[in-house]
């Protein structure tokens, strides 16, 4: 009798365990269906799926909460919902949601602080409070959304190879018109990239690079500096912007091309174009051996700029 009782308890325990595992799997499957995941194709490059609109994500999480509540997926589901509220600029609601998550799951990795570091949830709560304070004092305007103009492509013929760029004509019309005019007039022909930072960015467009005196490289200008035309285009890989000079303006002719993300340039200068083909050439230029000022010993010249 005792043996049968033990067997019955063991069977019941296995059934509960199996049920718990199935519920966990169901919860994580439901969450994975909502949140964009990343994939790794055969060549090994990570492919990022586009972000789900905030309103759609909130509705999807609310719809599946019954399957997710009480599982290990619940804290992440609540976090994504709060983050989506933040994206909607509903900072009060987002802050309350983050605080509820911290209260309900104080030992979760999102809520626990390491020595000398603030937890993700505490940082999120602070960000919500900061945004609320900013909006009490200032009028906050969203930057215009930048989209490339695919009708115009500039091809840079350099001594290291060719690369192409397209322009954000709609959000930076004055900057684009000014730079395109310089390109078509030959202002950049036979100038070289006078400053490089390996795998970070390259700088060119200085007319002084024609005189073979490296000491005045980066000091030349053509015309007046340009007022910033900021948009939501960031200084990510391939971004092209005029060199910042401060005072809400950019240089009249010198430009930077980002090899990789350069967030310190955001809001300091306006992205007016993006390299759409040949970024590997830009990367190669950035790797030139240079002196302490970043001036390459063997210069890469812009021979001409062609439009198609």
In SS3 terms, 120-164 reads as HHHHHHHHHHHHHHHHHHCCCCCCCCCCCEEEEEEEEEECCEEEE
What would the 3-class secondary structure string for 177-233 be?
A: HHHHHHHHHCCCCCEECCEEECCCEEEECCHHHHCCCHHHCCCCCCCCCEECCCCCC
- Give the tens place of pLDDT for each residue, 41-73: 777 777 777 778 999 999 999 999 888 999 999
Q: What is the pTM of this model?
A: 0.68
Residue 6: predicted pLDDT: 45
Q: Is the pLDDT of residue 274 over 70?
A: yes
> How is residue 50 written in tokens?
């586009």
**pLDDT, mean of residues 246-253:** 94
Residue with the larger pLDDT of the pair 114 and 162:
162
Average pLDDT score over the chain: 90
Determine the distance from the C-alpha atom of residue 51 to the mean position of all C-alpha atoms in its chain, rounded to a whole number: 12
Write down all domains in the chain, each with its CATH number in brackets: 2-137 (1.25.40), 149-307 (2.40.100.10)
- Give the tens place of pLDDT for each residue, 147-196: 999 999 999 999 999 999 999 999 999 999 999 999 999 999 999 999 99
């Amino acid at each position: 009798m005792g043996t049968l009782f033990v067997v019955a308890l063991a069977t019941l325990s296995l059934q509960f365990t199996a049920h718990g595992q199935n519920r966990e799997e169901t919860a994580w499957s439901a969450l994975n269906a909502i949140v964009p995941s990343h994939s790794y194709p055969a060549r090994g490059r990570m492919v990022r799926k586009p972000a789900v609109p905030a309103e759609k994500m909130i509705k999807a999480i609310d719809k599946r909460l019954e399957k997710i509540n009480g599982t290990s997926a619940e804290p992440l589901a609540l976090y994504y919902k709060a983050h989506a509220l933040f994206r909607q600029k509903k900072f009060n609601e987002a802050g309350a949601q983050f605080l509820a998550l911290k209260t309900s799951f104080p030992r979760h990795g999102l809520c626990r602080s390491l020595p000398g570091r603030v937890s993700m949830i505490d940082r999120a709560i602070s960000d919500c409070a900061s945004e609320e304070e900013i909006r009490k004092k200032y009028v906050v305007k969203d930057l215009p959304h930048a989209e490339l103009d695919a009708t115009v492509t500039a091809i840079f013929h350099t001594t290291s190879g060719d690369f192409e760029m397209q322009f954000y004509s709609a959000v930076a019309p004055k900057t684009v018109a000014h730079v395109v005019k310089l390109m078509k007039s030959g202002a950049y022909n036979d100038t070289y990239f006078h400053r490089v930072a390996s795998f970070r960015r390259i700088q060119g467009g200085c007319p002084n690079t024609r005189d073979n005196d490296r000491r005045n490289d980066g000091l030349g200008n053509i015309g007046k500096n340009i007022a910033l035309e900021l948009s939501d285009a960031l200084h990510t890989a391939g971004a092209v912007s005029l060199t910042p000079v401060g005072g809400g303006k950019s240089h009249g002719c010198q430009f930077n091309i980002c090899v990789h993300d350069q967030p310190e340039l955001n809001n300091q200068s306006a992205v007016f174009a993006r390299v759409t083909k040949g970024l590997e050439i830009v990367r190669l230029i950035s790797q030139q051996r240079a002196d302490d000022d970043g001036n390459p010993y063997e210069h890469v010249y812009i021979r001409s700029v062609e439009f198609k």
